[in-house]
Structure 1
């Protein structure tokens, strides 16, 4: 199972340049969270700070009763073992085949026998769908396969927290869709806490339980997926609609004159798009952290955009959810399973 991460008043700067300030959020245990933001807002810096590779100027990162920025080197080293990281480019060793790349953390950090290492490595290779490719070098496989190999390596120490730094970077839309499905399936299977940094709007709209948005050196919002996808906050609405009209400019933020000019023209920021059904595990199960479609909106009296929660087969999952959950046999360690919206 995953662990909760509590971030309180976190500030990071390089010299006189503040990257972001006073960031506070809670990554719930076992849930999938996504962090969005325009280029240059410090999303990757946030990941590196979470894992202790960078030290913040102020603030706290609580993992259980441990405050990461204030740990001794020994305790920091031990706490990092809770993390697995998928880097943007996979960060594989080019001279090692996939098997040895994936086995590297086990050989470096444990005293397991080679037979035990092989059992674990092949198990993770199977989880990410790379059986048969373990003898290949990183240069002999596609970008999508390198991402999956990097993910297998991130999994070998059975981490309770997995960080994904732009996993869709360099992938075409089809491979991104496959990777998104793999992420959802892994979360359902291992129950770890996932945080994904991404620019991909489809990933943000369909995969996570929670979404956050960094902009202008601060965390604008962080909360349940439905809260952000129904938000009227201008920067959130602009980013999720991928429109030019709004606070975000070519170099992150627009100046006052640009915003005033837009206001005089009276540009319509556009209607919020329908909220899609959340992506389901391939086996049709329901992840432990997954909520019924529309439940946050109903609880807070928010009307969803027209067409929300309708899948590509025309099924309305607000209506379908209770019938399908009731019709399925519960699976071990999860809620009752069901057919999948968003598939």
Structure 2
């Protein structure tokens, strides 16, 4: 099962460059969380702070009563065993086949026999749909298969917290859809707490239980997905609609002159797209963490965008 991750007042800078300030949020145990934000806003830096690879300037990260930001190296070594991490490029060893890549954490951190290692490795390879590819080298397979192999390796120690750094980068929409379904199925099967950094809007709209948005050196919003997907904040509307117009610029935020020019020209952001139904596990049953569609909006008196929470009609169903 997953564990709760509680972040309080986290601030990080590199030299005189502030990355973000006073980030506070809680990743509920066993839920899928997504972190959005324009490029360069420090989403990957946030992941590295959670796992203790980078130390924040201020703030706390509490996991099972331990503060990752201030604990000893010995305690941090133990805490890291709770994590599984999928890096952007899979980070596989190019000279090892997929089997040995997945087996590496078991051989490095446990004293299991090779027969037990083989049982666990083949179980994880099967979970991510790579049966029969275990003898291939990373250079002999597609980018999507490398991502799944990296995911199998991240799962091999049965982590309670899964960090996925842009798992969909470099994948076409079809492979991204398969990967999203795999993540939902793994979440249901393992009960781990997931945090996914992504730029893919469809992933953010259908996969998570909770969504956050990093922007302008702070956490603009974090909470149940319906909260963000129904938000009228200009930065949210611009990001979800993938529009040039709004507070986000090419570098990061636009200056006052640019925003004034857009306002003078009468430029308006389009309305928010409908909130889709949440992606369910492959077995068709609701997730253990799933909230009834529209519950958050109804509780807080928020009118969701028109057409929200309607089933998707496929081409096959229409014919």
Matched with 2:288 is 288
Q: Map 1:1-343 onto structure 2 (within 5 A).
A: 1-313=1-313
Q: Secondary structure at the match of 1:112?
A: coil
Matched with 1:324 is none
Q: Distance in 2 between matches of 1:185 and 1:148?
A: 13
Aligned length: 314
User: Could you tell me how far 1:303 is from its partner in structure 2?
Assistant: 1.1
TM-score (norm 2): 0.97
Q: Distance in 2 between matches of 1:53 and 1:213?
A: 22
Q: 1:160 touches 1:193 (CA, 8 Å); kept in 2?
A: yes
CA RMSD, 1 decimal: 0.7
Q: Distance in 2 between matches of 1:175 and 1:143?
A: 10
**1:187-243 Cα shifts (integer Å, max 9, x gaps):** 011110000000000000010000000001000000000000000111011101111
User: Could you tell me how far 1:126 is from its partner in structure 2?
Assistant: 0.6
Q: Which of 1 and 2 has higher RCO (CA within 8 Å, sep 6+)?
A: 2
Q: 1:85 touches 1:163 (CA, 8 Å); kept in 2?
A: yes
Q: Distance in 2 between matches of 1:285 and 1:95?
A: 41
Q: Distance in 1 between matches of 2:312 and 2:233?
A: 28
User: Could you tell me how far 1:313 is from its partner in structure 2?
Assistant: 2.3
User: Could you tell me how far 1:64 is from its partner in structure 2?
Assistant: 1.5
Q: Distance in 1 between matches of 2:255 and 2:198?
A: 25
Q: Secondary structure at the match of 2:69?
A: helix
Q: Secondary structure at the match of 2:25?
A: strand
Q: Distance in 2 between matches of 1:278 and 1:260?
A: 37
User: Could you tell me how far 1:48 is from its partner in structure 2?
Assistant: 0.4
User: Could you tell me how far 1:158 is from its partner in structure 2?
Assistant: 0.4
**1:267-291 Cα shifts (integer Å, max 9, x gaps):** 1111111001111101112111111
Q: Show structure 1 runs of 5+ residues with no match.
A: 315-343
Q: Distance in 1 between matches of 2:25 and 2:95?
A: 40
Q: 1:188 touches 1:286 (CA, 8 Å); kept in 2?
A: no
Runs of 4+ residues over 3 Å off in structure 1: none
Q: Distance in 1 between matches of 2:31 and 2:237?
A: 24
User: Could you tell me how far 1:245 is from its partner in structure 2?
Assistant: 1.2
Q: Distance in 1 between matches of 2:61 and 2:258?
A: 37
Q: Secondary structure at the match of 2:237?
A: helix
Q: Secondary structure at the match of 1:69?
A: coil
Q: Distance in 1 between matches of 2:26 and 2:266?
A: 37
User: Could you tell me how far 1:311 is from its partner in structure 2?
Assistant: 2.0
Q: Distance in 2 between matches of 1:264 and 1:37?
A: 27
